[in-house]
Amino acid sequence: TPRAEADLIVTEHGIAELRGRTLAERARAMIQVADPAFRAELARASERLV
């Protein structure tokens, strides 16, 4: 699915609402619902990419 077509991401850690958000906002929302063990690493990686 292209990134522009995803409105919601659902994980066992929550729901990330993506509609209308910038790429940086989308990244932060998805990191918040990622496995806590990987959030810090994902946040560092997103800072380099976004």
Q: What is the pLDDT of residue 12?
A: 98
Residue range 21-43, pLDDT digits in tens: 999 999 999 999 999 999 999 99
Query: Model's pTM, two decimal places?
Result: 0.86
Q: Residue 9, exposed/middle/buried by CB under 10 A (0-12, 13-18, 19+)? A: middle
